[in-house]
Structure 1
């Protein structure tokens, strides 16, 4: 999986999860990652209804597993303003790592992607970089290194 600056969206204006999922699906369509935006939006929503993907400290990792996703992808979104999300610490969400996964990768690869992000989000230096950096190049580099299991020295 290749994570680049085009997978980083800053100052996204979404008022709630529904708007965010529309933005994510539409953007993924622009990137050629999904075939059907409505089906991908539905996949995000249905997953969220099963169990919240909100974590803590303003982070969430929503995911869409669908036959309409063409390639496993992560898109990082920093919202312009926090939105309501069920989280472990009842915090509003500002930082979102959206996982888009083809159905054939819904097992092992999906869990590996989720695991790597969850592990990274336990590191203070990673959290600090994500929350405070507006440099898309640095963000892409940091997230990419975590996603492929390497640490930045």
Structure 2
């Protein structure tokens, strides 16, 4: 909306500058002006939020899983640190504006049932309005952490935009849960040498 208003200068903290520059480079000023005109006709802030969410989804064709959303050998020591760290990473990657709200949605799912699957794997997941670009994130920990009645050392987090059409969320979750039952798939993930190797493996195995 600021681009649509013609703003060409903004002040912000230095950690946010690279991601913001990357996102601005993808915007078209004419499309932003059209978006601004539509937003001015909205009656409530919720209508504006929905309009912005739809615009971001239409503007982006970002892969579900990328090396930038994969972190290896983290020293997070608890489930709380894991979910906070992974949602913070989504903010840094420009895929989420409100990491604490997204984290709350993930905890709401955990309150229904723990997402630990055994084998030291967990799949926290949520379909949320607070994720701008649907994403599969990965964290491989140095040591296991308690996860419900299980322990988890390899976490694959699935966060899909609430406005995404269809049943993509459950299809990916079900496919991933089935693959984790296979030792060769688990071993390939655990022993992968790089973020790129994990991203490639997930794209192939989950048919993304």
TM score, norm. by length of structure 1: 0.87
What is residue 67 of structure 1 aligned with on the other side?
129
Whichever structure has more helix as a proportion of its residues is 2
1:79 counterpart (141, 144, 158):
141
User: Is structure 2 residue 162 aligned with structure 1 residue 103?
Assistant: yes
Gap runs ≥5 in structure 1: none
User: Is structure 2 residue 189 aligned with structure 1 residue 130?
Assistant: yes
Matched pairs, number = 146
Secondary structure of the residue that 1:6 maps to in structure 2?
Answer: helix
Larger relative contact order, structure 1 or 2 (CA cutoff 8 Å, min sep 6): 1
1:42 counterpart (104, 117, 120):
104
CA RMSD between the two structures: 1.7
Q: Distance in 1 between matches of 2:195 and 2:100?
A: 28
1:116 counterpart (175, 185, 196):
175
Runs of 4+ in 1 over 4 A off after TM superposition: none
Q: Distance in 1 between matches of 2:81 and 2:165?
A: 24
User: Is structure 2 residue 117 aligned with structure 1 residue 55?
Assistant: yes
Gap runs ≥5 in structure 2: 1-62
* Distance apart, 1:23 and its partner CA: 0.5
2:80 counterpart (5, 18, 24):
18
* Distance apart, 1:147 and its partner CA: 2.2
Verify the 8 A CA contact 2:69 2:89 in the aligned structure 1. Answer: no
Q: 1:106 to 1:40 in 2, by over 3 A?
A: farther
CA deviation map 1:15-49 (0-9, x unaligned): 11111111011100111111101101111111111
